[in-house]
Copies of this chain bind each other. A is one copy, B any other.
């Protein structure tokens, strides 16, 4: 009996392995049988090249000194990277842009009442960490693109400083009008915090890292552990990137020397109130001096005192003044021309500028990019000829506001719209699971790539490990079963926060962002402690995941560049749109029910009966129940998309049923040309309401999340912001784009059937 069970288990395991290991003889998506075989060989050769030692060496070199925009060592890195590319025989050049990049001149945070305390605003060198003492070259702790200001006012603690926090403050009868707010990092991109604070009337904003979120509450602090030490500060940009990223002076065009520039006073993406980031060491006396109501449960952090909201009696003086200089940034561009379809481009990028030494962010991604480039150069020497043109980009100026990628892509917008088939991004990398986000037309493609990569810690593919992790994390049995049954693991949608933004959101180029993580966490983000010492003790310490990243992205680049037909898959895309529409319909219904229920509770007296008379409580206002929206256009578009996706899949399967592509070279070229434009159909030149730079109608960073994605953003944000007329308009617009996409897919299918 026991023996039988064992045999059965072995059999099951073998079947599972069979089901998840790519079949060596199957067709790669977009490939004929012959090209599948050759591609598999080249990919195998490619993946054998990257070494952990090289990755380590690149990181040690590139993170040896602070290398922010405009710093001497950033220039040294440009030259060194260029020299490596040249040494490997690649065709590399530098493109310069001149961008607005403010650096701090005056920074003051002080408690002036009820007691005095002056914030240090300085991260100390640590004996164990050899690069932490490079103070002369370190950029001081600040938030880039904070407006200059000098304000003194009572302090109010606003939790994460996101819209729902201000709703809670309203229920507590607390206004931030005329106050300085102190918000903790996380739960939104940092630039949202001063924006929302200002919208509510605050005159200054302090952002701090609570030890609950990335300090001692999470684990031992650096250098004993990976987490943020007492005086560690997260620098970062607070530019209003959900309006437009890139150089604030040149929206929509490349910041070349002669570009037309806005006056500083006309710029919309600089904060309207002064902002500074501080450590929890500096925050503690400020927060401890607050009184007023005790903060709600989930607002309380891990500082050893009671969290009060204020306002006051703590009064704070905040002063920020910057040098508003124009700096030159240098993007490094490598071109490998395509042999068959030179006018179809596969673009791959990672930035190399950092806030300080930036070993993790961005060098743990940039070193993989370099190692990929070296491996591609090797393959070229061995006779490999990519069908498509490959462009490798090492971006400068990502940290202040995606400057390098945005300006380059704006400068080359027309060519990119014409030629770019896909953009592949990476940024910081760590130990653990493959995180893949991107356009859902690439979901199947990404799944196929992930099936090829072996996890460095486990004897399974990174695809399998990711799937099992999703099963472990699933919140319901239904979700678990879907993960088990679906052939592809779902990928997330892209918001913002790295260099894919301009490609996807502005130009409508199918994009993806790849990285490993989940096991190597820490609290050194954007601080002087994000350096080689930290990374080699607490990150991907042996660079095995760096190697996996180079293998993953390189395989993706190769497979995109060499495919006979661009391997977009519209079935997963249609399935995803189905889900998004379900979500939107539920969101609209939930809003109705929520308001209806709240109105009932107001009528029956729930709020007045449950308010503690010893605390101030302002009941929410009665609101009109939202109208029903006309989702029919989106429902019809979804159905059309589903039909055309099935049509295309059937036509493609038929065209390749004998292992060869039963199409003339000219037809294949037309087909590829058609497919290349498929993501572009999802954009509108009018862009999203209030932010025309964002032209993708399916993916965008949220106006009040900053990094976090909003899918079908025009509709979703209109519902969230209770703009019912706009919601109906945006439904029509998104539906039109999806109908156009369906038409393109049908047309591509017809080409296959010719």
Contact = CB atoms under 8 A, between A and B. Distances in A.
A248 to B, nearest CB: 40
Interface string A1-30: 000000001001100100000000000000
A326 interface: no
Interface stretch (A397-405, A458-466, A744-752): A458-466
A305 B604 contact: no
A468 B225 contact: no
A682 to B, nearest CB: 35
A9 B600 CA distance: 11
Interface string A189-224: 000000000000000000000010000111111000
A221 B304 CA distance: 12
Contacts of A16: 604
A468 B217 contact: no
Contacts of A457: 613
| Count of this chain's copies in the oligomeric assembly | 2
A616 interface: no
Contact of A604 (B468, B519, B593): B468
B608 A458 contact: yes
Contacts of A219: 294, 306
Contact of A606 (B305, B471, B610): B471
A217 B471 contact: no
Nearest to A227: B306
A748 B335 CA distance: 94
A666 interface: no
Interface string A471-493: 11000010010000000000000
A184 to B, nearest CB: 16
Contacts of A609: 458, 460, 464-465, 468-469
Contacts of A519: 612, 614
A606 B472 contact: yes
A433 to B, nearest CB: 9
A383 interface: no
Contacts of A597: 477, 480
A435 to B, nearest CB: 14
Nearest to A224: B306
Nearest to A211: B304
A472 B602 CA distance: 11
A690 interface: no
A621 interface: no
Contacts of A460: 605, 609
B303 A304 contact: yes
Contacts of A732: none
A601 interface: yes
A461 to B, nearest CB: 10
A610 B294 CA distance: 39
Contact of A306 (B217, B294, B305, B601): B217
A105 B16 CA distance: 65
A595 interface: no
A217 B299 CA distance: 11
A-B pairs, 8 with minimum CB distance: A304-B304, A468-B609, A468-B606, A219-B294, A216-B306, A472-B610, A519-B612, A465-B609
Given A458-B608, A460-B609, A468-B604, 10 more contacts: A216-B304, A218-B294, A219-B294, A221-B306, A460-B605, A465-B609, A468-B605, A472-B606, A472-B607, A477-B593
25 contacts: A9-B603, A12-B603, A13-B603, A16-B604, A216-B305, A218-B294, A218-B306, A219-B294, A219-B306, A220-B294, A221-B306, A303-B304, A304-B304, A458-B608, A460-B609, A464-B605, A464-B609, A465-B609, A468-B605, A468-B609, A468-B610, A469-B610, A471-B604, A472-B601, A519-B614
Interface of A: 9, 12-13, 16, 211, 216-221, 225, 227, 294, 300, 302-306, 432, 457-458, 460, 464-465, 468-469, 471-472, 477, 480, 519, 593, 597, 601, 603-610, 612-614
